[in-house]
Amino acid sequence: MRILFFGDVYGRVGREVVARRLTPLVKETGADAVIVNGENAAGGKGISAQICQELFSLGVDVITLGNHAFDKREIATYIDGEPRLIRPLNYPPGTPGAGSYIVRRGGRPLLAVVQVQGRVYSPQLLEDPFRAVEGEVERLRQSTPVIIVDCHAEATSEKQAMGWFLDGQVSAVIGTHTHVQTADEVILPGGTAYMTDVGMCGPWVSVIGADRELVLERFLTQRPVRLEAARGPAILSAVLIEVDEATGKATGIQRILEREVATEPLASLFGRW
């Protein structure tokens, strides 16, 4: 089985590059399922019901979220009626939605997707992601051995720890949130594919998706400058995971990174920088 996992979709530029490249990449890779992290899809913060529907119409099987899961108020209602949209499993009890989803084909389970959010450098009050995912993985394994975990976290150490914690129990632990693709894809000794961060689908002439001039103003002045999604050429970051359907063990993991060529001189894109 082959699974395509697209990194954090950031704003309109991210949505458009995924719309252009998803179907061709599915054909090129022979992917059987598609997972997209969409927590920044609406202008860089949150996701709307309409954007979810657009992504599902492209052939996305599961959309994962993260720390911006509920930035758009409508999602608190929408997520309860759309099980393919999942938020971090370790949110407090009573939070709308679910933290996992089982993708089915022809009525039978194909794979499960679960998301947890890290607590290091997180201002949110979250349950222990390790204990939360441990119990959920045990439950999901009763339906399918193929389990993909989206670990949405800031600290590389916390993501690596999650990879080792789940090695041999899940098919892959893929990190999201930092928007910068890492070059550490590996299959751990127990058969779990791991990557610290899959990266971002969004504008690359930016600071992790946001307008670079606004980010620089915030850093240089220390004022609470409101950030906006950048425009311009896109970067598409994804990972292809190959899994033995019978055992759930990963047999391959491959980074995908596509950067669009700038259509105007870089000097004008970068301004004074």
Residues 6+ apart with CB under 8 A from 39: 8, 46, 47, 64, 65, 66, 67, 68, 69, 152
Per the annotation, the verdict on 68 as an active-site residue is yes
179 has binding-site annotation:
yes
Phi, psi (rounded to 5 degrees) for 64: -100, 160
Whole-Å CA distances, 10 to 18, 81, 201, 235, 245 = 10, 24, 6, 10, 32
28 has binding-site annotation:
no
Phi, psi (rounded to 5 degrees) for 165: -65, -35
- Single out the catalytic residue among 15, 68, 72, 212: 68
39 has binding-site annotation:
yes
152 has binding-site annotation:
yes
In which region does residue 217 sit, left (phi positive, over 0), alpha (psi from -120 to 50) or beta (all else)?
alpha
Residue type, 164: W
37 has binding-site annotation:
no
CA 74 vs. chain centroid, Å, equals 20
CA distance 5 to 206: 22
Q: Residue ranges for the binding site for Fe cation?
A: 8, 39-40, 67, 152, 177, 179
Q: Residue ranges for the binding site?
A: 8, 39-40, 67, 152, 177, 179
- Give me the active site residues, please: 68
